[in-house]
Chains A and B, each alone.
Chain A
Amino acid sequence: MTPLRDTDAGPVFVGSVDVEPDVAAASAVAAGCPSFSLDEDDECYIERDAPNCFNCRGRRWVPDGFTCLRGGLRP
């Protein structure tokens, strides 16, 4: 299940890069996302061999996770 929290600013992915199921959930979202694009290497926190929201140029970090600037996170 994708760890999303609804906010006024839209859905926030509140999973952790340190929690394997959360990383897997972000991977599943990115795999089906037409807007995914890999961020520059310096901003990637997991291996870059497969799409993952944690590594996407379109995610925007917020205090408790990240939002998607491209509308890729849906409850």
Chain B
Amino acid sequence: MKILISIDDTDDAQSKGTGEIAEMLGQALVDRGLATVGRVTRHQLLVHPDIAYTSHNSSMCFEAEISEDALDEVTRICADVLTAESVEAADPGLAVVVLSSLADAERLMAFGLEAKQRVLTKDEAYARAEEFGVHLSEHGGTGIGVIGALAGAGLRLTGSDGRYKGKFRLRGDENDVATVADIKREGVGAVRTLEGETLGDDERVLVADSAKLVLKDGAAVLLVRPLDAAGAAAWCPVDRKSLRSF
């Protein structure tokens, strides 16, 4: 069965980041033969003076495929790794969502979107998690990270929020050019412009550098911009700045 594992508030300004810990959780499950895991996505939450966060206020989420009888063990291992890897000053939270038994997916998504708009409370997060049938637990400090953990799962579930952690290496020809069809064969769902135009399979993209992907319409999407000078490719990945709003 498919589950979402989401965490928040694990770090301080010196420690390893929450994204790295999310990857460690996934690896711990894979190493024990308990799961196959997907890529981690980062979800930006509200930046507000009344919210305690380290530097970005973002949560991290990934999908895992597990057997039904492994849920308790998977949850326990995630909790153990989260507790061990989070810094003392952090307030980590963990959400585990079983997609097949989720009581109200729409409302979980709404909670995630709400967390981008207003300051939410721990009580609200726990109340919603109970309603939705979602595991939500805190693992140190004030435990305020449960809000972001639940919100991260909701945002991931929308299929159109955030960006994938890490870079995606794309293979091109001798001129570092790949067609959209080539890029899609590497596991990218679509290639689009920032304005939302989806490129056809024959379009050619300069892929000299590693690219970052965003989560859009349920797929990993490579965002591109037109190249100024006509050449072997008409498009290239957008720059870092353009990804800030994702």
Contacts and interface: CB of A to CB of B under 8 A. Distances in A.
Interface of A: 9, 17-18, 39-47, 57-63, 69-70
Nearest to A8: B49
Interface stretch (B51-59, B115-123, B223-231): B51-59
B48 A41 contact: no
Contacts of A44: 240
B13 A69 contact: yes
Interface string B211-240: 010000000000000000000000000001
Contacts, number: 51
28 contacts: A9-B49, A17-B241, A17-B244, A18-B241, A39-B17, A39-B55, A40-B17, A40-B19, A40-B20, A41-B166, A42-B19, A42-B163, A43-B17, A45-B240, A45-B241, A45-B244, A47-B240, A57-B14, A57-B55, A58-B55, A60-B13, A60-B53, A61-B47, A61-B55, A61-B56, A62-B47, A63-B48, A63-B49
B14 A43 contact: no
Interface of B: 13-14, 17, 19-20, 42, 47-49, 53-57, 163, 165-167, 212, 240-241, 243-244
A47 B241 CA distance: 9
A46 B241 CA distance: 6
A9 B52 CA distance: 13
Given A41-B167, A43-B55, A59-B55, 8 more contacts: A17-B244, A43-B56, A58-B13, A61-B55, A61-B57, A63-B47, A63-B48, A70-B13
A75 B215 CA distance: 39
B13 A57 contact: yes
A12 to B, nearest CB: 11
